C-alpha cells in the first residue's frame, strides 16, 4: 500500500534521494537523475521525468505531493518593485519582494509565515507566527518567480526569523549553493537575523553566505524595548561571536539599522555603535523607518540620515543609506504582512 501524499520530493537532498531510490528498488544513479530534474530543470512531477522508468515514475507520482505553486497575487510599485503573495501548504500566506535595480535583481524571500520575534517596528512581527516554511516552500518563492531567470541575488529578509527555522533554511541554502542543486555562489545570498545566538554559529560554520544582523539600537535596554530578542540573546553576545570569524575576504557581515527619529539617532548612539562593533570588519546599512499603523515611531528627514551616515563613516565604519523600494505597495523593509489576507479581508 502506497503512503499518503504527505511529503514532497522537492527539497530532498542527494542522500535522501539515494535512500528513496534504495527503498523503491531504483538503480543508484537514479538519485542523480532525480536531483537534476528537481534542481536543474525545476520539474517536480515524476511523470515528466523521461529518463526514469515508467513504473517508478508512477510510484513516485502516487507518493509525493506537488509543492511548487505560482504566486496568487502580484502588486507592482511605481519604482518597479513587485510584491508576490504565495499560499503555503498549510493554508497560510507569505510575501516576497522582487527588486530590480539596473543589472542587479534581488528577491527578498520569507522563511516563516509570520514571525514570533515581536519587533515593535515590524508589521510581520505584529501578526505573530503561523508556521515555519519547509525548504521547498522557501525555494518555491524563487523557482515560481516569473522573473526567475533575471535574478542575481537572494536575501533572506522577508517574513520570519531565518534562525528560528534553521533546519529548513540551511537545507534551502544547501540546495541553492550545491553543484547538484542550483549551483549558486554563496556570495549571491544574504541572510538576515535578529541574533538567535544558539543558531548563529551553526549558520556561520555550515554556510558561506553573507550575514546581515538586525541591530537598530546598540544599548541593551533600549534595544530590548523594541526588540524582545535582546532579552534572550544580547547584541553584545552576537558581536562577540562575530569577532571570532573572518569577514575580510569574500564573506561579508553588515548591520541593519532602522533609523527612528529621536529614538536611536543621537551622538551617543553613534559612540556606542563604534564601541560595540570595534574589531568587526563590517558595514552599517541605514534604513528609513517605514510607518506602520498605530506606531509611535517616525523617520528622520533626509538631512538627518545623511548626517548620521557621514558621522559613522568619519569614525571608520563604512555606512550606507539603503534606498527605500516598494513602499507604496507595502513591500519595503518592515512592511511585509499577510494578517489581513489570513483574516480573509
Q: Give the residue numbers annotated as catalytic, written as ranges.
A: 95, 333
Alpha carbon distance 94, 109 (integer Å): 9
Other beta carbons within 10 angstroms of residue 28's beta carbon come to 9
Phi and psi for 19 in degrees, rounded to 5? -65, -40
54 Cβ contact partners less than 8 Å away, ≥ 6 residues apart: none
**SS3 of residue 229 by DSSP:** helix
**SS3 of residue 174 by DSSP:** helix
Alpha carbon distance 246, 134 (integer Å): 30
Cβ pair 287, 247 in contact under 8 A:
no
Question: Cα torsion for 114, 196, 285, 177, to the nearest 10°?
Answer: -80
**SS3 of residue 97 by DSSP:** strand
Q: Where are the beta strands (DSSP E) in the chain?
A: 73-76, 82-87, 93-101, 104-108, 112-114, 129-132, 153-156, 189-193, 210-214, 253-259, 283-288, 318-321
What percentage of the chain's residues is helix, strand, coil (to nearest 5)? 35, 20, 45
Angle between helices 166-177 and 135-143 (to 10 degrees): 40
Other beta carbons within 10 angstroms of residue 32's beta carbon come to 14
Alpha carbon distance 121, 119 (integer Å): 6
Alpha carbon 174 to its chain's center:
14
Could you tell me which of 6, 4, 2, 28 has the C-alpha nearest to residue 17? 28
Question: Cα torsion for 284, 285, 290, 296, to the nearest 10°?
Answer: 0
Amino acid at each position: 500500500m502506497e503512503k499518503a501524499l504527505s511529503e514532497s520530493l522537492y527539497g530532498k537532498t542527494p542522500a535522501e534521494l539515494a535512500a528513496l531510490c534504495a527503498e523503491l528498488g531504483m538503480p543508484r544513479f537514479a538519485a542523480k537523475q532525480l536531483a537534476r530534474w528537481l534542481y536543474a530543470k525545476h520539474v517536480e512531477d515524476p511523470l515528466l521525468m523521461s529518463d526514469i522508468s515508467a513504473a517508478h515514475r508512477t510510484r513516485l507520482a502516487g507518493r509525493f505531493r506537488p509543492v511548487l505553486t505560482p504566486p496568487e497575487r502580484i502588486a507592482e510599485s511605481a519604482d518597479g518593485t513587485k510584491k508576490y503573495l504565495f499560499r503555503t501548504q498549510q493554508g497560510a500566506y507569505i510575501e516576497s519582494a522582487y527588486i530590480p535595480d539596473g543589472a542587479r535583481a534581488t528577491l527578498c524571500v520569507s522563511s516563516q509565515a509570520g514571525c514570533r520575534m515581536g519587533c515593535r517596528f515590524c508589521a510581520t512581527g505584529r501578526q505573530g507566527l503561523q508556521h515555519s516554511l519547509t525548504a521547498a516552500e522557501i525555494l518555491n518563492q524563487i523557482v515560481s518567480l516569473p522573473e526567475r531567470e533575471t535574478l542575481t541575488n537572494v536575501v533572506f529578509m522577508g517574513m520570519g526569523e531565518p534562525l528560528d527555522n534553521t533546519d529548513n533554511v540551511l537545507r534551502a541554502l544547501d540546495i541553492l549553493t550545491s553543484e547538484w542543486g542550483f549551483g549558486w555562489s554563496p556570495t549571491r545570498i544574504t541572510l538576515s537575523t535578529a541574533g538567535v545566538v544558539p543558531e548563529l554559529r551553526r549558520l556561520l560554520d555550515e554556510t558561506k553566505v553573507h550575514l546581515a544582523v538586525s541591530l537598530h539600537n546598540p544599548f541593551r535596554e533600549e534595544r530590548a524595548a523594541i526588540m524582545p530578542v535582546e532579552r534572550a540573546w544580547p547584541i553584545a553576545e552576537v558581536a562577540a561571536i562575530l569577532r571570532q570569524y573572518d569577514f575580510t575576504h569574500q564573506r561579508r557581515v553588515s548591520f541593519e539599522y532602522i533609523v527612528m527619529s529621536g529614538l536611536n539617532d543621537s551622538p551617543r548612539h553613534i559612540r556606542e555603535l563604534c564601541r560595540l562593533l570595534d574589531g568587526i570588519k563590517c558595514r552599517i546599512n541605514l534604513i528609513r523607518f517605514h510607518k506602520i499603523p498605530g506606531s509611535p515611531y517616525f523617520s528622520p528627514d533626509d538631512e538627518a540620515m545623511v548626517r548620521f551616515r557621514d558621522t559613522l563613516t568619519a569614525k571608520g565604519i563604512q555606512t550606507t543609506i539603503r534606498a527605500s523600494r516598494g513602499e507604496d505597495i507595502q513591500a519595503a523593509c518592515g512592511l511585509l504582512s499577510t494578517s489581513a489576507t489570513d483574516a480573509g479581508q
